[in-house]
Structure 1
Amino acid sequence: MTAIGKHSNQMTPVGGSEGDVSREGGVISRWAAHLAGQRPVEIGQTLPPHSPDCAGCGPDNPAGLHLRAVRTASGVEAVHCFDEAHVGAPGIAHGGAVALAFDDLFGFVLYTVGSLAVTRSLTVEYRAPFRLRQPYTFCANVAQREGRRLLLHAEARDDNGRKVGSAEATFVVVGAEHFAANAGQGMSPGECDLQMRDPRGPSNVPSSVAVSYVHSQPSVEVQ
């Protein structure tokens, strides 16, 4: 999912520091500015990562995939090798990591659409194992648009051109406020660690943390 929008400072975060909110708001604002004033993406152009910490493409995320996507005539493309950080069965990439690659590539498609959107559904078909340390070419494009719904298609092929996986997704176009409302929400890293060590519920953590349990991401309604 690609999170792009304009940050609002009208609410105080629960659990997150002002520094966290400022950083997240800066990322969101830069994304919004990029889409609002961008020129048409040229074929062959490398697209910017969704955020420095994005699990799919963020360069600062040590556990991420570090995808690099480029614009193609029909959509976007990324060549990726899964490694031991994303192993499932021995020698094979975890299915969740493959799904992450597809979902993140769909996020890059939004640069060609020029709309802010979030993942509503994602279906992945695994036709063959994704082996570690082997290059796979992922391609994605917009198959259809129905109002706020973007119907997206992607596939992955090995270096012999054999299709090893495919994905279909529905993305929903949203406003910038969807992302601004979630910036800075949730626990701090220390509070999250405390909850993981004592997962019995809010009554076992400080009151400043317990209040974060009542927050949820705003629903995305499609007319």
Structure 2
Amino acid sequence: MGCGPDNPHGHHLQVRRDGQDVVAEHVFDERHVGAPGIAHGGAVATVIDDLFGFLLYGMGSLGVTRSLQMDYRAPVLLGRNYILRARLVERDGRKMHTAATVAHETNFVATARAVFVAVDLGHFTEALSSADRDRSSR
């Protein structure tokens, strides 16, 4: 839903490095509506989770979301350009603590904190194999 390049409903973030941070610009549109003119909080959280994924990838790590906490300070409006920024706060063994902001011009409209757990590629391939086995046994 978030990062798949072939998904026509994906957010298709264009992420760049800025020092140790990753940054993207994003405009929420009618696909993301929660209330008239306002992005659904789940759409905002999805974009931030995706941004964190780019951060981990840039660090050379694969990870899965353990927790994601959003703090909405103001409505995220449709049709506005937002600057998304994420960074690694701390690494503790396999746990990676991250933080992000969503801003329009100089106004922060949302912040986020998340914990990711580092995994290897086998984590994903094993999950796919298991899902395939479950489907074929039905």
TM-score where L is the length of structure 2: 0.91
* Structure 1 vs Structure 2 CA RMSD: 1.8
Q: Are 1:81 and 2:30 an aligned pair? A: no
Relative to structure 1, the CA distance from residue 96 to residue 179 in structure 2 (aligned partners, 3 Å threshold; closer, same or farther) is same
- Cα deviation, residue 210, structure 1: 8.3
Q: Are 1:177 and 2:122 an aligned pair? A: yes
User: Aligned equivalents of 1:167 and 1:73: distance in 2?
Assistant: 19
User: Match for 2:14 among 62, 68, 74?
Assistant: 68
Residue of structure 1 equivalent to 2:38: 92
Kept in 2: contact 1:84–1:132 (CA 8 A): yes
Q: Sequence identity of aligned pairs in percent?
A: 48
- Cα deviation, residue 209, structure 1: 4.7
- 2:53 is paired with a residue whose SS is helix
Structure 1 residue ranges without an equivalent (≥5): 1-54, 188-207, 213-223
Residue of structure 1 equivalent to 2:55: 109
- Cα deviation, residue 186, structure 1: 3.9
User: Aligned equivalents of 2:91 and 2:111: distance in 1?
Assistant: 19
Q: Which has the larger radius of gyration?
A: 1
User: Match for 1:139 among 85, 88, 92?
Assistant: 85
TM-score where L is the length of structure 1: 0.58
Q: Are 1:163 and 2:94 an aligned pair? A: no
Kept in 2: contact 1:75–1:112 (CA 8 A): no
Kept in 2: contact 1:86–1:97 (CA 8 A): yes
Q: Residue deviations 1:57-82, cap 9 Å, x none?
A: 33321111111111111310010000
User: Aligned equivalents of 1:175 and 1:61: distance in 2?
Assistant: 25
**Count of residues in Structure 1 that have an aligned counterpart in Structure 2:** 137
Residue of structure 2 equivalent to 1:152: 98
- Cα deviation, residue 83, structure 1: 0.3
User: Aligned equivalents of 1:68 and 1:58: distance in 2?
Assistant: 12
User: Aligned equivalents of 1:139 and 1:95: distance in 2?
Assistant: 17
